[in-house]
Amino acid sequence: MTVKELCVTAIIGAIEFVVFTSFSFILYLECITFTVLIFSVVFPRKIAVSGAVVFGLLNIVLIQGALSAMICLFLYHPTKKALCAIERKLDL
């Protein structure tokens, strides 16, 4: 990865972390899902999935700890981004 890709990945992960912590207290408001989908449509797959991994690591280390639900989210968001990017590339 280039320095530019690493910086964009870190910024994406930080934005997702801020969105998740800011809006997680409002019931049924899925801002993180919307943010994840937007980033996966706008950015290339490699950067979007890496940003989701950074978000998952930040969430596990700084906020939640290694709970089973957080580990599932850590696996869920990068997978969702990868699938959305693949679908965008295939024009389904």
Encoded tokens for 58:
């930040």
The residue type found at 64 is Q
Mean pLDDT (whole number) for 51-67? 78
Q: How far is CA 8 from CA 11, 15, 27, 46, in A?
A: 5, 10, 30, 11
Give the model's confidence band at 72: pLDDT under 50 very low, under 70 low, under 90 confident, else very high.
confident
At residue 92, does pLDDT exceed 60? Answer: no
Structure tokens at 61: 């280390």
Around Cβ 48, how many Cβ atoms within 10 Å?
A: 27
Q: How many CA atoms lie within 13 A of 90 on its CB side?
A: 7
Q: What is the pLDDT of residues 17-50, one digit of tens each?
A: 999 888 877 877 788 888 888 888 889 888 988 8
Residue-wise pLDDT for 41-52, tens only, equals 889 888 988 888
Domain ranges of the chain: 3-90
Report pLDDT for 86: 75
* Prediction pTM value: 0.68
